Amino acid sequence: MKWRIGVAAAVLVAVGVLVAAVLVVPRFLTGTDTIDRSQPALLQSLRDLSQYHASAGEFQVVLDIERDVRYVPSALAGQRTLFVAAGTVNAYVDFGGLAEDALRVAPTTASGEARKVRLALPGAVLDKPNLDQERCYVFAQERGLFDRLASLVETQDQQPFYVAAERKIADAARESGLVRRADDNTRKMLTGMFGALGYEVEFTNLD
């Protein structure tokens, strides 16, 4: 009787090994394939651009964000995260809103030939920070016991880190002098363009 049980066990083991070989071995021998069944991107809208991007800045920030649970020790609940984020901010001048009288040509020669241009130029503004996804990552993280257990069954939402990073980078861009540099670069560009046509340009503030 015992030998029958031994034979049956041996058969089961052999079947298990065979099934494993059929299911697992081909994956190691041939690798895995990725099939992309996504639909192609659809064009939603088109718009003409009238912005002159005159300067850009590269920024990096390290966020140190701690989330505590009241009246619970940090060893049990809560987390502290160091998140590294990097991105760019552009400063641009929008010519789309210029009125017809924003550009005036005044005669300055005895013959009445127009050689001077007066331009009411809008001030430069900052674009929204553009984060580089490949350079944004969690550098280090300390979590309580409950948070570590929760991470086994759910993925942490990193959106709050990106939002905070955008806010920090936007604040840094406002203090960096990007707008002033964009104003200067725009004036230099227009001065060179009109100068090549034989005109002297005078800039005024846009009312």
User: What's the pLDDT tens digit per position in 66-111?
Assistant: 887 777 776 777 788 899 999 999 999 888 877 777 888 876 666 6
Burial (0-12, 13-18, 19+ Cβ within 10 Å), 205: exposed
Predicted confidence at residue 184, as pLDDT, reads 92
pLDDT of residue 23: 46
Q: What does the block give as tokens for 161?
A: 């880190």
CA angle 34, 38, 43 (to 5 degrees): 145
Higher pLDDT, 189 or 33: 189
Give the pLDDT score at 14: 52
pLDDT tens figures, 1-49: 544 555 445 544 454 554 454 444 444 445 567 777 777 777 666 666 6
